[in-house]
Structure 1
């Protein structure tokens, strides 16, 4: 059996475990996903730390968008112990443990509900390897040919930032951010769109459109110093 593996996964330890199990590992620079086990089956692997960082900088949204765009059966493997890994995970945002837990859940909800991508949780690289072998085995029994590489144009950092801006709006998330850019072409046009124009986006709805317009159009009100501190702490 053969699995195409992104070159950036070389140091994860998984390729070596695959080879030890008799899997032929074909390294390539993948524009989408980390492991291709069949033509339409791609797997993105993220540790808890990876998941958080990709959520912070908006990469998660563009990665999910690309997964569903180019593959009919994408999967996301979340690897690690959420509780223990978050306790040991450090960043410069001064977020509390509870805030980081909520961010992990928010990101997973986005993946499942907005992008319809199934999640698989594994505790470590050994279990991730076992899952990859299991799915490759199942597909090899059903089909006589293995994964094929396809030419995919990778999104730019500018596009990631555009998606990040729109996805931060309340009730938008990654999938609707993509739909907004497809509908209006630029973030500026999307942000200037009327509630009626926003509501025309499939699945967007009038209530969501009106809420966004209200947030964008209402003037910012000054708050007292104590409340200001609370607000800034919330935004960290």
Structure 2
């Protein structure tokens, strides 16, 4: 049995556990995903902390867009316990709760908008067992293993463009891609009217009007306490 593993997963402990279980681990620099177990099956692995970090820096939904673009069966493994965020994060209890809610919102978007199935594992041992189980099932059904395909990875400029648009309320990576395809540049997308935005397939009038409201309304200086809360939320 063979599993292709992204080189950045070398220090996770999972490749070593796979080898101990008799799996042939083929390291490669994967443009999309962390583990390829079959030609069209790719698995992205994130700890709960990774999930939150990638949401904050704008990578999460861009990665999801790449997964569904290049593979017909992408999966996301979320590893760990959400309660661990209490020990990894700073701030008030309210801030903890905000971070929990961001994790939930991210998972809902991944499931409903990107149609990516989620698998929860408590630790690397269970993640390893899942990888072996799915690779076993596919190897029994098919006579060949994972095949690597050439994937043109987005440039840092493209990622920054998508990150800008995906941070808008209700947009995310999938609609950010659609906005750039429709308007070609972030500037044109941000200057588009609500009616123009609503013409994007699946975008809808409510989402378009909400975005225009966010972009057009003047910023009101908050009091010192509210500013502190906002800054804590952005950490």
Distance 1:19 1:228 in 2: 51
CA contact (8 A) 1:5 1:15 kept: yes
1:213–1:79 Cα change, 3 Å = same
Structure 1 segments unaligned to the other structure (5+ residues): none
Q: Deviations over 1:187-209 (max 9, x none)?
A: 11100111121111110111211
Distance 2:230 2:23 in 1: 52
Q: Which moved more, 1:184-193 or 1:98-107?
A: 98-107
TM-score normalized by the length of structure 1: 0.91
CA contact (8 A) 1:3 1:36 kept: yes
How many residue pairs get aligned? The number is 235
Counterpart secondary structure, 1:74: strand
Q: CA deviation at 1:77?
A: 0.2
1:146–1:225 Cα change, 3 Å = closer
Q: CA deviation at 1:214?
A: 2.4
Could you list the structure 1 runs, at least 4 aligned residues long, displaced by more than 6 angstroms after superposition.
91-95
CA contact (8 A) 1:110 1:174 kept: no
1:224–1:53 Cα change, 3 Å = closer
Distance 1:50 1:234 in 2: 17
Q: CA deviation at 1:225?
A: 5.3
1:54–1:2 Cα change, 3 Å = same
CA contact (8 A) 2:62 2:174 kept: no
Q: CA deviation at 1:228?
A: 5.0
Distance 1:160 1:33 in 2: 16
CA contact (8 A) 1:40 1:73 kept: yes
1:88–1:203 Cα change, 3 Å = same
Distance 1:59 1:225 in 2: 31
Q: Deviations over 1:133-152 (max 9, x none)?
A: 11011111111100001111
Distance 1:27 1:183 in 2: 38
Give the match for residue 155 of structure 1.
154
1:92–1:195 Cα change, 3 Å = same
1:90–1:226 Cα change, 3 Å = closer
Q: Deviations over 1:83-120 (max 9, x none)?
A: 44212214699982112211211221221122111100
Q: CA deviation at 1:219?
A: 2.9
CA contact (8 A) 1:34 1:44 kept: yes
Distance 1:200 1:164 in 2: 21
Distance 1:129 1:218 in 2: 49
